[in-house]
């Protein structure tokens, strides 16, 4: 599946897009945490997960054709 990373997550991973396989959102997040480390995990904990443009819970099953977007909180002024 296509995984899109935004803002701080993109910077920490060094890329804005990945191709990965995972059975569900929780497994995907665990794989990304193992790959990119503690600071990535900290930002990920506060991030929103969208699957095909819809908010997704950690237990949501994933299919190879899904697009997952990980959106960290953004502040502005």
pLDDT one-digit tens code per residue, 4-41: 999 999 999 999 999 999 999 999 999 999 999 999 99
In this model, does residue 59 exceed pLDDT 70?
A: yes
pLDDT of residue 75: 63
> For residue 52, is it left (φ>0), alpha (ψ between -120 and 50) or beta?
left
Whether residue 33 contacts residue 44, with contact meaning beta carbons closer than 8 Å, is answered with yes
d(CA 43, CA 57): 17
Residue keyed to tokens 């190879």? 64
Backbone φ and ψ for 63, nearest 5 degrees, come out as -115, 155
Mean pLDDT of the chain: 95
Residue predicted with more confidence, 26 or 75: 26
Give 77's pLDDT tier (boundaries 50, 70, 90).
Answer: low
pLDDT of residue 74: 76
């Amino acid at each position: 599946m296509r995984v899109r990373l935004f803002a701080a997550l993109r910077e920490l991973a060094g890329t804005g897009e990945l191709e990965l396989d995972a059975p569900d959102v929780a497994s995907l997040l665990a794989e990304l945490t193992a790959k990119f480390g503690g600071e990535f995990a900290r930002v990920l904990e506060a991030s929103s997960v969208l699957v095909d443009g819809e908010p997704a819970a950690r237990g949501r099953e994933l299919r190879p054709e899904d697009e997952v977007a990980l959106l960290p909180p953004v502040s502005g002024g």
